[in-house]
Structure 1
Amino acid sequence: MKQEQLFGIHAIEKLLKQSPHLIYALSVQKGPLNKRVQALVDQAKRLDVTVNTEAKSFFNQVEGVHQGVIALVAKQADLTESDLVKMVEEINNPVFLFLDEVQDPHNLGAILRTADATGVDAVVIPKHNSVGLNATVRKVACGAAETVKLVVVSNLARTLKDLQQKGMWMTGLAGETDQTIYDMDFKGSVGLVMGAEGTGLRKLTRESCDHLAAIPMVGSVESLNVSVATGVTLYEVYRQRHLAK
């Protein structure tokens, strides 16, 4: 199985707690360890995860903010369009989140974290012009990159159409509509479609949605950061499905 590096104390803590079997080894910088890193080492040893001590020069060669600790983890198998179709058929009223060319790894990481918190069944990104699952995304996601299914598709608009034929209703977030997310019915099989930073939804993606909805804005700014907008909308989806009477 392919391997990749995971940075960030918080992200490694969560993975050790949730899926220690995915960690091949933990590397820590030689010398005195702070309390959090020492706790990671102790937990890894209790779980029979190999712990390696490396010189500072080892970490200097690694790109990314690693805080003196790196986990070598198993790269999860890639999911495809066919996996999405199976999920729609097997899960009762699933929630899928589609990201139309989101390119900032911090945004994708934050979105994965919120997707995990709100019970999203899959996050879908196009193969081209989108940030993939890299070390920065994993760190910002704080373990959610290992728990949320991330599916890469070759053609986002076609995928939307295929899933619509399976009964999933697609709602795209856009500012130029009178409907708000609070007017929508998110209780069934839901596809939520978010646009890219700055440019929003592409024309073909927008035309592939069943509905467009906006987040109400009463201030002077015209739009929200895509990760913030996604968080607001996902919690409205969660509210309707789990909290609304």
Structure 2
Amino acid sequence: MARRNDKAPLRGRAGRMQGGRGSGRASQGAVRLWGRHAVEAALKNPQRQHRKLWATREGIASLDGELPADFPVEYADVADLGRLVARDAPHQGLVLECAPLEELHLADVIAPDSDTEEANRPIVILDQVTDPHNVGAILRSAAAFGACAIVTQDRHAPPESGVVAKSASGALEIVPWVRVVNLARALEDLAEAGYWRLGLAGEADATLAEALPAGRVAFVLGAEGEGMRHNIAAHCDALCRLPISAAMESLNVSNAAAIALYAAAAR
């Protein structure tokens, strides 16, 4: 990535921008990302097809590395960038429009079964977790603790978006995100690949420390409030709970995922 010369000609003027002014939505078939970490990670990701970057000069200067000389950049002021993103979104002077990441299949992310550390990286399964902030935070924890991938059901999960990317702080570009039609079938495929399917449920008798296996593990987490659906819980090999204080009924799903992933990394 190369930093653009401040003397480069502007591609349009602040306040006269095209391509979604005031809507906060990307053009058809595109994703709009914002914030330094999310944009910088996307720019460094060779799997991304970039279309256009709107930025303040301070935003460009904050990037680690340089943009190619022919990269499509339109300089703008803070107020105009605010019209390109979700309401009150912290864009930090950078808004990138790009193509969505390519679709992945579960088989693409499962390494051959072995005793190596790489093959035993955990997978996170999310059952109808629809809040994009939570999914983004889980992606960030997955990247921090070396998870293999996250898996969601296609119809009951947020789309790839600027909110997810900002909450993930760059992890959207690092952690594979697999969307499946049938989550129960995906759990069956994971069992066949040697994964122990461990569901987190507050009503379980065993604690996470007691139930955590030594080998491959897929953590299954349900939506806040409802928890895992009955059919998904039935596809788990075991259920476990986090040993939290009785003063609190439960934890946010992204906090629970982070604790489970840390426990797996610390085995």
Shorter-chain TM band:
0.7 to 0.9
- In structure 2, the residue matched to 1:160 is 187
Which of 61, 65, 70 lines up with 1:43 in the alignment?
Answer: 65
Which of 57, 80, 92 lines up with 1:67 in the alignment?
Answer: 92
- In structure 1, the residue matched to 2:224 is 197
More helix by share: 1
Question: 1:76 deviation in Å?
Answer: 1.4
**AA in 1 matched with 2:61:** A
- In structure 2, the residue matched to 1:179 is 206
Aligned partners of 2:73 and 2:172: how far apart in 1? 22
Matched position secondary structure for 2:266: helix
Matched position secondary structure for 2:187: helix
Which of 212, 227, 238 lines up with 1:211 in the alignment?
Answer: 238
Cα-to-partner distance string for 1:99-127 (whole Å, 9 max, x where unaligned): 00001111001000000011111100001
Give the structure-2-normalised TM-score: 0.77
- Determine if contact 1:175/1:214 at 8 Å carries over to the other structure: yes
Identity percentage of aligned residues:
36
Matched position secondary structure for 2:66: helix
- RMSD of Structure 2 on Structure 1 (CA): 2.5
- In structure 1, the residue matched to 2:45 is 19
How many residues get paired? 232
Aligned partners of 2:164 and 2:64: how far apart in 1? 26
Cα-to-partner distance string for 1:176-231 (whole Å, 9 max, x where unaligned): 12211111334311111011111111000000000101000124111000000111
Which of 134, 137, 147 lines up with 1:110 in the alignment?
Answer: 137
Matches within 5 A, 1:62-141: 62-64=84-86, 65=89, 66-84=91-109, 87=111, 92-141=119-168
- In structure 1, the residue matched to 2:7 is none
Aligned partners of 1:49 and 1:20: how far apart in 2? 14
Where in structure 2 are there 5+ consecutive unaligned residues?
A: 1-28
Cα-to-partner distance string for 1:1-50 (whole Å, 9 max, x where unaligned): x642211123223444x436734442114xxx44xx14236833368644
Give the structure-1-normalised TM-score: 0.84
Matched position secondary structure for 1:43: coil
Cα-to-partner distance string for 1:118-169 (whole Å, 9 max, x where unaligned): 1111100001222222110011111100110000000111110122122111
Label 1:48 to 1:142 Cα distance change in 2 as closer, same or farther (>3 A): farther
Where in structure 1 are there 5+ consecutive unaligned residues?
A: 241-245
- Determine if contact 1:8/1:67 at 8 Å carries over to the other structure: yes
Matched position secondary structure for 1:111: helix
Label 1:68 to 1:219 Cα distance change in 2 as closer, same or farther (>3 A): same
Moved more, 159-168 or 116-125: 159-168
Aligned partners of 2:64 and 2:108: how far apart in 1? 38
Aligned partners of 1:41 and 1:167: how far apart in 2? 42
**AA in 2 matched with 1:93:** N
